[in-house]
Amino acid sequence: MPAAGAGGAVRRLAWRLRLVFLFAALAALPYLLSYSQQEIAVLLVINVLLVSSYRLLTLTGEWSLGHVVIMGVGAYASALLAKQLGVPVPLSTLLGGGAAAAVAAILSFPLFRMKGFYFLIGSFAAGEIIRLIWKRFTDPFGGPKGLKRIDPFPDIEAGFLSIDFYEPVNYYFLALVVVSASLFVLYRIERSRIGLTFHAIHWQDRLAESVGVDTFRYRTLAFVIASFFAGIAGGLYAHYVGAVNPTRFSVDQMVYVLVWAVVGGTATFHGPILGVVALTVVNEIVLRALGLDTVRPLIYGAILILSVLYLPNGLESLGTRLRARLQHWRGGPAATGSEPA
Amino acid sequence: MSRKSLDRKISRRKFLGTTAVSGATLAAMGAGLPRVSFADGHTIRIGFLAPLTGPVAAWGKPGLDGCLIWADWINAKGGVDIGGKSYNIEFIGYDNEYDAAKARTGATKLIKEDGVKFIMMLGGDTWPGVQKVAEREGMLFSTLLPSDLSPDSTTLVAPCEVHPIYNVTGVEWLAENRPELKTAVICAQDDALGKPSVATYLAAFEAAGIEMQDEPLFFDPATTDFAPVMTKLLAGNPDILCLDTCYADYVHPLCEQAFQQGYKGQIISCTADFYQKIIEKTSAEFMEGFIFQFPDFDDPALNSEGVNFVNPNEFYAEYAKRYGASEWSAVSWEYASIMDLWADAAGKAGSAEPAAVLEAMKAGGTGKHAFGTADWWGTELFGIDNALVGNWPVVAIEGGKATIKEFRSIPAWWDKHKDLMVKHMTALGQMWNQRG
Amino acid sequence: MDLLWQTAVNATYAASYMALIAVGLVMIFGVMGVINFAHGELYMVGAYCVVFLYAQENFPFLLAVAAGLVFVGIVGIVMERTMFRPLRDNPLGGLIASIGFLLILQTLAVLGFGRRMGHVPPATQDKAEIFGAVLTHQRLFVILAAILLLAALWTFLRRSKFGRALRACAQDAEAASLQGISMNQTARIAMFIGAALAGVAGALTAPLVSPTPYIGHSIIVTAFIIIIVGGVGSLEGAVIAAVLYAFVHTFVTTFFDGVIANIVGLALMFAVLVVRPTGLFGARERA
C-alpha cells in the first residue's frame, strides 16, 4: 500500500493545500454575499453542525426523530443559564451542549431498549414530551411563546479591535470557528476505534455483541456525543436569533434535518453537509429569488422525491459518478476504488 | 488495514473537494443575484414581513392582498403626498414562514437591500427575532399582536389590532343589554393568542358581575374533535358560552357541537369568520344574537362619521372581486388600515423616514385608528404607550347578517376596571414584565 | 350520568375515525415497510373531495364520500408505483419521499381551495338520543362506516386469496415471492386499501372538522401514537389502540382539559414503548 513514502507525502501536501483552499473560500464567502444572505449563511453553518452531529448517531444504524428537540434542549439551557443566572454566553453554550448530552444519557435508558423503527418512533415520543414540558411549565420555559431577549454573544472590545456579533459576518466567523472545531472532533471520533465500533454495530450488531462489544453502551455513547454537538448548535442559534420557542423545535423542523441528511447521503462525512448546503441554497435563495412563494413547498417536495428516486445514495454520490464518467471518456479505467462502500 | 487507509484518503479528498465546490456554488449564487435594488425617486417601498406559506399564512397573505388594493388605489390617485412631492407606494413581501430566524433575515433584506421605509408584521413568534434589528436599524415596525410591545422596542407600534383588549367591549355590551345572563364558561387553544385573551374575558366578566362556572378549558392547537370540549363546557348549563379568540377552524366545530348538544344560551366570541357557514351548519335561530368583534366591511355603519377607514364598502367589494369573498378575513383590512395611518403620518411629517413618521404618528398622543380617533396607550399593560386604542365595534348576528350594534370605548372600560385586567393578566403570566 | 354517557358516545366516534386512519397506516407499513408520513395528507385529500363534490358541486354526500374513498385509493396507488416501489429496498428513502409528497399535496390543496378552511354543510342534522346522550346521525355515519369497512377488510384479509397474499407479504416478503405471490400486485392493493381508509375517514368527517390544507399534521401525530400503542405490525392492535386512546383522551379532556389529555396520551405511548417496545399487540421486530 503506497500510504507511506514519497507518494504519501505528496498526498498529505495535497490534502493540506485543499484544506487551505477550503478555508480561504469559506473566509471569502461572506464578502461575496449580500447582508441578508450573510444571515442565511450563519444559519446554514449552524445547521451544518446539526446535521453532521445527526450523522454520528446514524452511524450506529439508529435514526432519531428527536434530534432537533435535543438541539432545543441546548438552546433553552444555554438561554436560561445566560438570562437567569448570568452565565457568560460562551460558557453557557458549552453547558447547553452538556445539558443536551445529559438529557440524551437519561433518555438512552428507555430508548435503546428499542431498535430501528421503534427507536425512530420512540425518539419522536420522547421529543414530544420534552416539548410539552416547555409548553406547560411557563416558569422557567416561557410556555408556548418561549424565551426572548436572550443575551447575545458579548461584543469583543480590545483596544483597536472591536467585534460586534450582531453583524452577521462576524457571527458567521464565530460560528465557522466553533463548527469547524466541532466537525474536526466529530471526524476524529468517526475515524477512531470508537467510530469503527459504531459502524460495526450498524452492520453486524449480533456479531459485535458476540465478540464482547457492549452495543448498548456504544449506542448511548453515539447518542450522547451527537446530542452534545446538537446542543452546541442550539446555543449558537439561541444567542444569534435571540429567541426560542417550542414550535421552532417541532417535528416539522426535524423533517428538514432528516431530509438534508438523506438527500446529501449519509455514507460519508461530507454527504449531509452537501445536503444542507444544496437544499438551503435552493430553498432560501433560488426559489425566493424566483418569487415563487406559494408553490415553494411543492417544488421543494418534488426535489425531495426526485433526489431519493434518482440519487439514492445522495448528492455525495454525484461527484463519484461524474468522476467515473470523466475517466471513462478519457479512456482510462473507471475509478472503481472510489465507489462508496 | 490497507483498504481502510485508502478509504480514508479518498474520503478526505472527496470531503474537501465537494465542500469547496458547494461553497463556491453558494458564493456564485450570491454574487449572481442583485444585491441592492433601491426604488427610484418616485416610489416608496413598504416591507410586508409575515407568513405567506404554511399554517399561519392565513394571518399574513390576505393582508398582503389587501395592501395591494390599497396601493393600487393610492397610486391611481397619484400616490402619497409627502413634503410637496407625490410618491407611489410599492409593497415588498417576504415570507417569514412564522419563524424568528427567517423573520430576522427578511427584516435585514427589506431594510438593507430593498430600502423599505416601514415594515408591517404579524408579530408573535416572529417578532423576537426581529427585535434586535429594529433597535439597531431604527426601522419603524408594526404588529397585529400588541403583546409584542415592550419598553425596549420604541419603534414597534400596534396601530390597528389591539387584541385582545377590545374583547371587553363585547362583554360590556352584553351585560348592559342582556342583564339576565349571570354565568359563563370559556375555552381556548393553549397558545400565545389564546391565553391573554382568556385573561381579558375573565376580567371583563368579573367587571360585569358575571360568574365563571369553571376554570377556563384549554385545548391543544392540534385538536380536531371538539365534542368532548363542548360536553365539558355545557355540563353546568351556562348562560354564556365564550369561545375566546379561537381560530375559525375551531369556532366552526365548536358552534356545531354546541348546537348538536342542545345548547340554547348566548355565545360570545372574538371572531366569527365565515359565520354564514356556521349558520349552515347550525341554524339561523341558534346563531341569532351571537356576539363578536369583527364587522363585515359592507356594513353601512362603517360609513358613519368618525370611522377613518377609507371606503370600507368599496374595499370589501374590490377584495371579494379580486380574491374571492371566501379569502376575506380580519387581516384583509387591518394591514391596509395601518397604511392609512402611515400615509397620514408621513404626509404630516413631510418625510418617509421612520423616525419622523413615528414622531408624527404619535404626535399629540392620539391617532386616526380605523374605527375612530384613538389614544396611544398601553404603559400599564405593555410598558410602552405604542398601542392605538379607542373605539371598537360590537357586532351581533341578526337575521343571518353581522350587524354593528355599537362602537364602544375601550379606554372608558379600562379607566373603570384596569385593576381587574392587570390581576387576570398577571395570573396567567401575560404582563409585559412577566414574559420570557 | 348524562355527562358520562355523552363522553362515552363522543369517545366512540373518535375511536371510529382514528381506527380507520391507524389501520390504513399499519397496513402500508406492514406490507411495504414504509412509514407513510403523508398519511395525514391522504385524510386531508379525502376531506377536500367532499368539500369539492358535495359542498361545491352539490353531489349527494354519500356519493362524494365514495368518490373520496376511490380517489384517495388511487392516489395511494400512484404513490406506490412512483415512489414506494422503486424505493422498496430503501425504507428511509420511502419515508423521505412521502414527506416530499406531503408537501406537494398540501400545496395543491392551497392552490385549489385556498389556505383557509373548507366549508362543508352537514349532510343531515338529525340526531338520536341514547340514554340522554346526543349522537348526531352525521357522527353515527362515521361509526357505522368504520365498523362496516373494518369488518369488510377483516373478512377480505381472512377469506380471499389476495388477503392471504397480503398477510404473507407482511410476514415475509421474500418467502411470499418464492411462493409465487406478486409483490407488486400485493403492494398495490395494500396501498389502495390503506390510502382509501384514510381518505374515507377524511371524507366522512369533513362536515365535522374544518378541513384545512394543514390538517394532516394533527392527524398523523395521533395516528403515530395509536399505532405505537397497538404495535406497529398489527391491524387488530391498531383498532384496539384507537379505542383505548380515544376513550382515554376523551375522558381526560372532559374531566380535566385538552392539554392534559395530550400529555396523558403521550405518556401512555411512552409507557407502552418502555414496557413493551413492540406495542401491546406487535410481535415482530423490524430493524
Displacement of CA C103 from its chain's centroid (Å): 19
Neighbours of chain B (3+ CB pairs under 8 A): A, C
Query: For the segment A153-189, what is each residue's pLDDT rounded down to a tens digit?
Result: 888 887 777 888 889 999 999 999 999 999 999 999 9
Query: For the segment A250-290, what is each residue's pLDDT rounded down to a tens digit?
Result: 888 888 898 899 888 888 888 899 999 998 998 888 888 88
Query: For the segment C265-286, what is each residue's pLDDT rounded down to a tens digit?
Result: 888 887 887 787 777 776 544 4
Query: For the segment A203-234, what is each residue's pLDDT rounded down to a tens digit?
Result: 776 676 777 777 788 889 999 999 999 999 99
User: How far is residue A149's CA from residue B285's CA, in Å, rounded to a whole number?
Assistant: 49
Of the candidates A63, A118, A309, the beta carbon closest to that of C92 is on A63
* pLDDT (0 to 100) of residue B402: 92
Res. B210: pLDDT tops 60: yes
Query: For the segment A72-107, what is each residue's pLDDT rounded down to a tens digit?
Result: 999 999 999 999 999 999 999 999 999 999 999 999
Average pLDDT over residues C83-96: 86
> Is A297's CB within 8 Å of C87's CB?
no
Based on the number of CB atoms within 10 Å of its own CB, is C19 exposed (0-12), middle (13-18) or buried (19 or more)?
A: buried
Note the ipTM here: 0.87
Contact A319, A269 (CB under 8 A): no
Size of interface A-C (CB pairs under 8 A): 118
What is the pTM assigned to this prediction? 0.86
> Is C96's CB within 8 Å of A128's CB?
no
Please choose, from the candidates A188, A217, A175, the residue with its C-alpha nearest in 3D space to the C-alpha of residue A60: A217
* pLDDT (0 to 100) of residue B39: 56
How are the residues of chain C apportioned to helix, strand and coil, as percentages rounded to the nearest 5? 75, 5, 25
Res. A116: pLDDT tops 80: no
Q: Which of A117, A283, A306 to mutate to test the interface with C (most CBs of C within 10 A)?
A: A117
Q: What residue in B sits closest to A315 (Cα-Cα)?
A: B18
Res. C167: pLDDT tops 90: no
Instruction: Give the N- to C-terminal CA distance of chain A in Å, as an integer.
Output: 19
- Burial annotation A212-250 (CB, 10 A radius, 16+ → b, else e): ebebeebbbbbbbbbbbbbbbbbbbbbbbbbbbbbbbbb
In chain A, which residues have their Cβ closer than 8 Å to the Cβ of C106? 297
Classify the phi-psi angles of C231: left when phi > 0, otherwise alpha if psi is within -120 to 50, otherwise beta: left
User: How far is residue C52's CA from residue C45's CA, in Å, rounded to a whole number?
Assistant: 10
Res. A200: pLDDT tops 90: no
CA dihedral sign of residues C140, C146, C147, C148: positive
The whole-chain average pLDDT of chain A stands at 86
Res. B111: pLDDT tops 70: yes
Contact C284, C235 (CB under 8 A): no
In chain C, which residues have their Cβ closer than 8 Å to the Cβ of B53? 110
Query: For the segment B347-371, what is each residue's pLDDT rounded down to a tens digit?
Result: 999 999 999 999 999 998 998 899 9
The residues with which A13 forms a beta bridge, in sequence order, are none
Give how far B199 is from chain A: nearest CA, Å.
15
Give how far B262 is from chain A: nearest CA, Å.
33
Mode of pairing for the β-strands spanning B43-50 and B119-121? parallel
Query: For the segment C96-142, what is each residue's pLDDT rounded down to a tens digit?
Result: 899 899 999 999 999 998 878 888 988 888 888 887 788 889 999 99
What are chain B's domains? Answer: 43-163+307-389 (3.40.50.2300), 167-292+394-434 (3.40.50.2300)
R_g of chain A, CA atoms, integer Å: 21
* pLDDT (0 to 100) of residue A196: 82
Helix (H) or strand (E) holding B270: none
The residues with which B242 forms a beta bridge, in sequence order, are B186, B268
Q: What residue in C sits closest to B280 (Cα-Cα)?
A: C121
User: Between A142 and B21, where is the model more confident?
Assistant: A142
User: How far is residue B64's CA from residue B122's CA, in Å, rounded to a whole number?
Assistant: 11
Of the candidates B99, B105, B128, the beta carbon closest to that of A39 is on B105
- Burial annotation C72-104 (CB, 10 A radius, 16+ → b, else e): bbebbbebbeebbbbbbebbbbbbbbbbbbbbb
Please choose, from the candidates A170, A41, A297, A45, the residue with its C-alpha nearest in 3D space to the C-alpha of residue B29: A41
Contact C45, C173 (CB under 8 A): no
* pLDDT (0 to 100) of residue A119: 84
The residues with which B392 forms a beta bridge, in sequence order, are B408
* pLDDT (0 to 100) of residue C282: 67
Of the pLDDT bands very low, low, confident and very high (cuts 50, 70, 90), residue B3 is: very low
User: How far is residue B222's CA from residue C265's CA, in Å, rounded to a whole number?
Assistant: 13
User: How far is residue B268's CA from residue B263's CA, in Å, rounded to a whole number?
Assistant: 13
Average pLDDT over residues B163-191: 93
In chain A, which residues have their Cβ closer than 8 Å to the Cβ of C278? 118
Query: For the segment C17-67, what is each residue's pLDDT rounded down to a tens digit?
Result: 999 999 999 999 888 888 898 999 999 999 999 999 999 999 999 999 999
Please choose, from the candidates B423, B340, B346, B329, the residue with its C-alpha nearest in 3D space to the C-alpha of residue B380: B423
Residue A92 touches partner B, C-beta closer than 8 Å? no
Res. B7: pLDDT tops 60: no
A340 secondary structure, DSSP code: -
- Burial annotation C34-46 (CB, 10 A radius, 16+ → b, else e): bbbbbbbbbbbbb
Of the candidates A36, A248, A293, the beta carbon closest to that of B109 is on A36
Concatenated DSSP letters for C153-219? Answer: HHHHHHHSHHHHHHHHHHH-HHHHHHTT--HHHHHHHHHHHHHHHHHHHHHHHTTTS---TTTHHHH
> Is B227's CB within 8 Å of C10's CB?
yes
**Residue A335 has which C-alpha cell?**
475509478
Q: So where are chain C's domains? A: 2-215
Query: For the segment A282-330, what is each residue's pLDDT rounded down to a tens digit?
Result: 888 888 888 777 788 888 889 889 988 988 888 878 877 788 888 877 7
Res. A1: pLDDT tops 50: no
> Is B129's CB within 8 Å of A145's CB?
no
* pLDDT (0 to 100) of residue A266: 83
The whole-chain average pLDDT of chain B stands at 87
Neighbours of chain A (3+ CB pairs under 8 A): B, C
- Burial annotation A76-99 (CB, 10 A radius, 16+ → b, else e): bbbbbbbbeeebebbebbbbbbbb
Please choose, from the candidates A165, A180, A191, A205, the residue with its C-alpha nearest in 3D space to the C-alpha of residue A273: A180
- Residues with Cβ < 8 Å from A184, sequence gap 6 or more? none
Quickly tell me which residue has 395521533 as its cell. C222
Of the pLDDT bands very low, low, confident and very high (cuts 50, 70, 90), residue C1 is: low
C80 secondary structure, DSSP code: I
